[in-house]
Chain A
Amino acid sequence: MSARVSVEPSGRGTVVEPLIFDKSRPGHRAAAIEAPGVETATAAELLAGAALRQRPPAIPELAEPEVVRHYTRLSHMNHAVDLGFYPLGSCTMKYNPKINDELAALPGFTWLHPYQAEADVQGILELMWELEQALLAVTGMCRASLQPAAGAHGELVGILMIRAYHRDHGGAERDTIIVPDSAHGTNLATAKMAGYRVVELPSSKRGLVDLGTLAEALSERTAAVMLTNPNTLGLFEDDILEITRLAHEAGALVYYDGANLNAIMGKARPGDMGMDVVHMNLHKTFSTPHGGGGPGAGPVAVCARLEPYLPTPLVERRDAPGADADGPAGAGFHLVGDHPSSIGRVRGFYGNVGVLVRAYAYMMRLGGNGLLRASEDAVLNANYLRVRLHDTYDVPFDRMCMHEFVASASRQKHTTGVTARDIAKRLLDFGMHSPTVYFPLNVPEAIMIEPTETESRDTLDSFVDAMLRIDRESREDAAIVLEAPHVTPVRRPDETLAAREPVLRWKPAAESPEIS
């Protein structure tokens, strides 16, 4: 391991907040473990014959105040939705209501064990069942599994179900999945992980799926078409009914990536579009906090013909008055795993239940009318920003967008050398997170902007002001943009160094002594 970066004073780099490992001092400790209080031999004696740890792990030794200060200081080095604007395209960084966290932390949820008897967990099963009904109402599908832990996990479930369906319906030779060139990277990686070949479809001049190109690509080898609608350019596929018809005629199924569901709640349903499988990102559309990268939740909803393939167990409601409430035949809510065609499980237990509770609370709080209004304001905010920025920044597909749109820094790059990355970095100086940049891949110097519905007009205007100012700076004083950010906790990291000489963990100065 190279000594080039060291958090010790001897090293080259200066330190903003030392690693918790460097703060460790022998003998310091926080959590006390109570004495066993039972009369047995010692643990080492009870485990005689087993290989025991010879050297303690070098995890930190600290008192509680030291731990609390360290992580509080680290928290100060993050941008977050609660601190400021977060227009990260494709990520739907809307406000996360506090009541949802409070309800998810109720002991009746947090200390519930997944293998308790069904009779003892009727409350959480009812919540999960009702959440499923609400998600089906939004998507127009038949049945859903709440098991997937994230969007990409839901994608894997969806594509594995499609594989199983074709296997059972004489389509085992179907080995290809079609995705548009604007697709999320997860779509392609999922297809590959599920054992498929990927064919990328070039977008039309309008930024949409071209029906002719699609028809040519479809064949008896096509297992599925994966679509995001509105797509990653923020554009609604207006030929969607024709797209799903063509795919179905070719014997393929259609997968709906729900990353952009926030645009259409109460306006259009994937089920009505002809979609066979849909995944939702509860950490996007349904406001659960993203936690610095997770946990999320990626429920998958299906049409009737894919229902037998859903992961198990599923929550079912049964009305059988008089039956034994303890038994699986009793009235109430049940976890049912008896689905012989199911693809099986994709994780342990039933899903990220703590996330499901938050999403349920959000959906009940807003109701049908509130979800509709959320989508309307999300689309209003995106179009407002698009119109306010399109004279200064190129917008390659400059027409009515949905909840997000993709601008481009091509003009700035050609005239001043300032790139989308530089603009993103300069925005950080204004206390705003940057939009998603360099995605989708079919727009050069892409700047993908998704304001969400929870931002006020003042916030949107401040963002416009910042974007206009950065454009001006690019022309008048490009260095300030090229060297940005200036006022963040650290400045641009040396990515090349990080990749060339990877330092992926802290290392103790010397091996710790053996346990005596």
Chain B
Amino acid sequence: MSYLPHTDADRAAMLQVIGVDSVDDLFTTIPADLRTCVLDMAPGIPESELAPKVTALANANRTYGSRSFLGAGCYQIYVPAAVRALTARSEFATSYTPYQAEVSQGTLQHIFEFQTAICELTALEVANASMYDGPSALAEGAFLAARQTRRDRIVISAAVHPEAADVLRTYSSGPGLTVDDAAIDPVTGRTLPPALEELDGAAALVVQQPNFFGVVEDLAPLAEAAHAAGALLVVSQSLLAAGVLSPPGEEGADVAVGDVQPIGNPPQFGGPSAGFLACRDRFIRQLPGRLVGQTLDSDGRVCFTLTLQAREQHIRREKATSNICSNQALAALAATIHLALLGPVGLRELGEVCVTRAHSLYDRLTGMAGFEPAFGGTFFHEFALRVTGGAEPFAARMRRLGVDPGVPLGRFRPEWSDLLLVAVTEANSPTDLLAYLDAAHEVMGPRTTPGEGGRR
């Protein structure tokens, strides 16, 4: 067995040291009734058989490369080779949580750098070492607000990703928090600042920037509405927009959360990536998860260590701010490295190329029969179209032409079955945009009139 070093002679010698005759004697503390179990699995196979078996499964998937326009919280962005090379280093990949600081400075320092980068991108004062993903970070951000304000009601915009809202509802079912929706303007697609009474007793108003439909929210009036009611503003923020849009912290947000994907992390069918959570300094005792701090070692060298652990489960047990233990450190490292490779100018240009290409496709598509913009508000790099004949039939026909044209939103709500959410990123070249338009013409027909689209 290739991962097990012992020979039978080793085992025999070790059993002798222990003072038993056989391996079975090591398991006699398990009641005999239980030891009759059989592990009903096929026998192992050599690596030379495993590799083609798993590769065949990978090949049984179809990817559309740069002709994919799927987004809705998971985006294709080129990941530089240096990111993979560095995160694959086994000193990073095969280490545990950095509890022993003296032999974990590599991990501790890169987490400290991640915390700094997230503070810079959110314009908030403190960020933790990472959460599982964006939606769970959103739920934890709302819980932080509930602890901080000692209130038990969360108001979440109807333009937050439906899965993130579902996660918030699942988390809230435990302690019994109430979750209510804040309405959006059906014309612009922006969240309407809730009236004072709508936020009565609310710990937080939760919004997404840009929102689920790709529309850029006007955060300042939302912050004002939240603060007037004594609630915190929690913003779920896209890092793709972080170089271009004003950061939540400068628009009045108290907590910013989000997912580092697509920075440094490919889609991977939705995971792993890393969530982030940043907040104002004054909420620090309520922050969930690990925090790395800078200090000095006994020789006076600058070093890093896990700190303020009195918030965490392994110290405070049931009084902890969260039960989170393992986080997503390696995915956070990938993001930190990618951000360092991009720099502030690269991050801004990345956002800008997403914006201009998305608007270019939007302008051409909405000029075609069969497509109507779902909302009129300014969008970033993702937009919702109302597709004549339904989004999924259109998407299925586009896929046959080699273009995955966007996420049909009927998968989230039946009443959204006409809506297609189209994401454009730097991965989609101008040629890919033309391919999209050509395919759309072929599917919808260049001369279709409204009401007949989708049939040829």
**28 CB-based A-B contacts, threshold 8 Å:** A30-B80, A30-B341, A33-B342, A38-B356, A56-B344, A59-B344, A71-B337, A99-B51, A111-B65, A116-B62, A117-B399, A134-B41, A151-B325, A156-B323, A241-B33, A266-B39, A267-B35, A293-B290, A348-B259, A349-B74, A353-B269, A380-B18, A424-B100, A428-B103, A457-B6, A490-B105, A495-B305, A505-B126
A492 at the interface (CB under 8 A from B): yes
3 tightest A-B contacts by CB?
A349-B270, A123-B60, A108-B58
Of A68, A193, A292, A377, the residue contacting B92 (CB under 8 A) is A292
Of A62, A88, A115, A265, the residue contacting B96 (CB under 8 A) is A88
A434 at the interface (CB under 8 A from B): yes
Of A68, A292, A370, A503, the residue contacting B294 (CB under 8 A) is A503
Of chain A, the residue at the smallest CB distance from B176 is A195
Of chain A, the residue at the smallest CB distance from B42 is A367
Of B56, B72, B95, the residue contacting A290 (CB under 8 A) is B95
The complex places the Cα of A117 from the Cα of B314 at a distance, in Å, of 42
Determine if A152 and B34 form an interchain contact, defined as CB atoms under 8 angstroms apart.
no
Determine if B216 and A47 form an interchain contact, defined as CB atoms under 8 angstroms apart.
yes
Of chain B, the residue at the smallest CB distance from A429 is B102
Determine if B272 and A354 form an interchain contact, defined as CB atoms under 8 angstroms apart.
yes
> Across the interface, which residues of B come within 8 angstroms of A512, CB to CB?
344
Q: A111-B63, A138-B39 are in contact. Are A241 and B269 (CB under 8 A)?
A: no
Q: Mark A452-495, 1 if CB is under 8 A from B, else 0.
A: 01111100000000000000000000000001010011111111
Determine if A59 and B347 form an interchain contact, defined as CB atoms under 8 angstroms apart.
yes
Of A101, A140, A371, the residue contacting B88 (CB under 8 A) is A101
> Across the interface, which residues of A come within 8 angstroms of B336, CB to CB?
20
Determine if A498 and B342 form an interchain contact, defined as CB atoms under 8 angstroms apart.
no
Determine if B243 and A53 form an interchain contact, defined as CB atoms under 8 angstroms apart.
yes
Determine if A97 and B3 form an interchain contact, defined as CB atoms under 8 angstroms apart.
yes
> Across the interface, which residues of A come within 8 angstroms of B187, CB to CB?
none
Determine if A292 and B333 form an interchain contact, defined as CB atoms under 8 angstroms apart.
yes
Of A153, A195, A388, the residue contacting B17 (CB under 8 A) is A388
Of chain A, the residue at the smallest CB distance from B19 is A387
Determine if B27 and A267 form an interchain contact, defined as CB atoms under 8 angstroms apart.
yes
Determine if B26 and A456 form an interchain contact, defined as CB atoms under 8 angstroms apart.
no
The complex places the Cα of A259 from the Cα of B164 at a distance, in Å, of 28
> Nearest-CB distance from A451 to chain B (Å)?
11
Of A40, A137, A272, A348, the residue contacting B34 (CB under 8 A) is A272
Besides A373-B1, A383-B18, 9 other A-B contacts (C-beta < 8 A): A30-B80, A64-B341, A266-B37, A295-B327, A350-B270, A370-B44, A379-B26, A380-B11, A499-B308
> Across the interface, which residues of A come within 8 angstroms of B129, CB to CB?
293
Determine if B74 and A113 form an interchain contact, defined as CB atoms under 8 angstroms apart.
yes
Determine if A490 and B297 form an interchain contact, defined as CB atoms under 8 angstroms apart.
yes
A215 at the interface (CB under 8 A from B): no
Which segment of A158-166, A245-253, A408-416 sits at the interface?
Answer: A158-166
A344 at the interface (CB under 8 A from B): yes
Determine if A31 and B80 form an interchain contact, defined as CB atoms under 8 angstroms apart.
yes
Of chain B, the residue at the smallest CB distance from A57 is B120
> Across the interface, which residues of B come within 8 angstroms of A70, CB to CB?
340
Q: A13-B296, A56-B243 are in contact. Are A30 and B82 (CB under 8 A)?
A: yes
> Nearest-CB distance from B271 to chain A (Å)?
4
Of B65, B113, B297, the residue contacting A494 (CB under 8 A) is B297
Determine if A99 and B50 form an interchain contact, defined as CB atoms under 8 angstroms apart.
yes
Of chain A, the residue at the smallest CB distance from B175 is A195
Determine if A13 and B302 form an interchain contact, defined as CB atoms under 8 angstroms apart.
yes
A509 at the interface (CB under 8 A from B): no
Q: A78-B104, A95-B3, A97-B3 are in contact. Are A502 and B95 (CB under 8 A)?
A: no
Q: Mark B6-37, 1 if CB is under 8 A from A, else 0.
A: 10001101110111100101111111011101
The complex places the Cα of A216 from the Cα of B82 at a distance, in Å, of 59
> Nearest-CB distance from A489 to chain B (Å)?
5
> Across the interface, which residues of A come within 8 angstroms of B456, CB to CB?
none
Determine if A116 and B404 form an interchain contact, defined as CB atoms under 8 angstroms apart.
yes
> Nearest-CB distance from A235 to chain B (Å)?
7
Determine if B29 and A236 form an interchain contact, defined as CB atoms under 8 angstroms apart.
yes
From 233 to 281 in chain A, residues with beta carbon under 8 angstroms from any chain B beta carbon are 235-236, 238, 240-241, 264-269, 272-273
From 50 to 86 in chain A, residues with beta carbon under 8 angstroms from any chain B beta carbon are 50-54, 56-62, 64, 67-68, 70-72, 74-83, 86
Determine if A30 and B170 form an interchain contact, defined as CB atoms under 8 angstroms apart.
no
Q: Which of B95, B171, B269, B271 has the most CB of A within 10 A?
A: B269
Determine if A17 and B109 form an interchain contact, defined as CB atoms under 8 angstroms apart.
yes
B422 at the interface (CB under 8 A from A): no
Of B115, B163, B266, the residue contacting A111 (CB under 8 A) is B266
> Across the interface, which residues of B come within 8 angstroms of A499, CB to CB?
293, 307-308
B441 at the interface (CB under 8 A from A): no
Of chain B, the residue at the smallest CB distance from A149 is B132
Which segment of B192-200, B227-235, B244-252, B367-375 sits at the interface?
Answer: B244-252
A186 at the interface (CB under 8 A from B): yes
> Across the interface, which residues of B come within 8 angstroms of A68, CB to CB?
82, 85-86
Q: A192-B318, A490-B105 are in contact. Are A57 and B242 (CB under 8 A)?
A: yes
> Across the interface, which residues of B come within 8 angstroms of A195, CB to CB?
174-176
The complex places the Cα of A495 from the Cα of B247 at a distance, in Å, of 32
> Across the interface, which residues of A come within 8 angstroms of B95, CB to CB?
78-81, 290-292
Q: A29-B346, A113-B76, A190-B323 are in contact. Are A16 and B136 (CB under 8 A)?
A: no
Q: Which of B68, B136, B243, B308 has the most CB of A within 10 A?
A: B136
> Nearest-CB distance from A155 to chain B (Å)?
6
A132 at the interface (CB under 8 A from B): no
The complex places the Cα of A372 from the Cα of B60 at a distance, in Å, of 31
Determine if B329 and A294 form an interchain contact, defined as CB atoms under 8 angstroms apart.
yes
Of A5, A99, A268, A377, the residue contacting B47 (CB under 8 A) is A99
B98 at the interface (CB under 8 A from A): yes
The complex places the Cα of A149 from the Cα of B323 at a distance, in Å, of 13
Of A116, A291, A497, the residue contacting B329 (CB under 8 A) is A291
Q: A29-B343, A149-B328 are in contact. Are A425 and B34 (CB under 8 A)?
A: no
> Nearest-CB distance from A76 to chain B (Å)?
7
The complex places the Cα of A355 from the Cα of B265 at a distance, in Å, of 13
Determine if A127 and B57 form an interchain contact, defined as CB atoms under 8 angstroms apart.
yes
Q: A20-B340, A502-B293 are in contact. Are A112 and B302 (CB under 8 A)?
A: no
Determine if A14 and B302 form an interchain contact, defined as CB atoms under 8 angstroms apart.
yes
Of B101, B112, B115, B117, the residue contacting A493 (CB under 8 A) is B101
From 110 to 128 in chain A, residues with beta carbon under 8 angstroms from any chain B beta carbon are 110-117, 119-124, 126-127
> Nearest-CB distance from B184 to chain A (Å)?
16
> Nearest-CB distance from B233 to chain A (Å)?
14
The complex places the Cα of A375 from the Cα of B103 at a distance, in Å, of 28
Of A46, A49, A188, A272, the residue contacting B355 (CB under 8 A) is A46
From 366 to 414 in chain A, residues with beta carbon under 8 angstroms from any chain B beta carbon are 366-374, 376-377, 379-381, 383-384, 387-388, 399-400, 402
> Across the interface, which residues of A come within 8 angstroms of B19, CB to CB?
387
A180 at the interface (CB under 8 A from B): no
> Nearest-CB distance from B397 to chain A (Å)?
11
Determine if B94 and A348 form an interchain contact, defined as CB atoms under 8 angstroms apart.
no
Of chain B, the residue at the smallest CB distance from A239 is B31
> Across the interface, which residues of B come within 8 angstroms of A485, CB to CB?
102-103
B451 at the interface (CB under 8 A from A): no
> Across the interface, which residues of B come within 8 angstroms of A488, CB to CB?
102-103
Determine if B396 and A326 form an interchain contact, defined as CB atoms under 8 angstroms apart.
yes
Determine if A103 and B296 form an interchain contact, defined as CB atoms under 8 angstroms apart.
no
> Across the interface, which residues of B come within 8 angstroms of A150, CB to CB?
132, 324-327
B43 at the interface (CB under 8 A from A): yes
> Nearest-CB distance from B29 to chain A (Å)?
4
Q: Mark A39-50, 1 if CB is under 8 A from B, else 0.
A: 111110011111
Of chain A, the residue at the smallest CB distance from B304 is A493
Q: A51-B251, A71-B337, A265-B39 are in contact. Are A348 and B352 (CB under 8 A)?
A: no
The complex places the Cα of A94 from the Cα of B170 at a distance, in Å, of 34
A334 at the interface (CB under 8 A from B): no
> Nearest-CB distance from A359 to chain B (Å)?
12
Of chain A, the residue at the smallest CB distance from B91 is A75
The complex places the Cα of A482 from the Cα of B347 at a distance, in Å, of 48
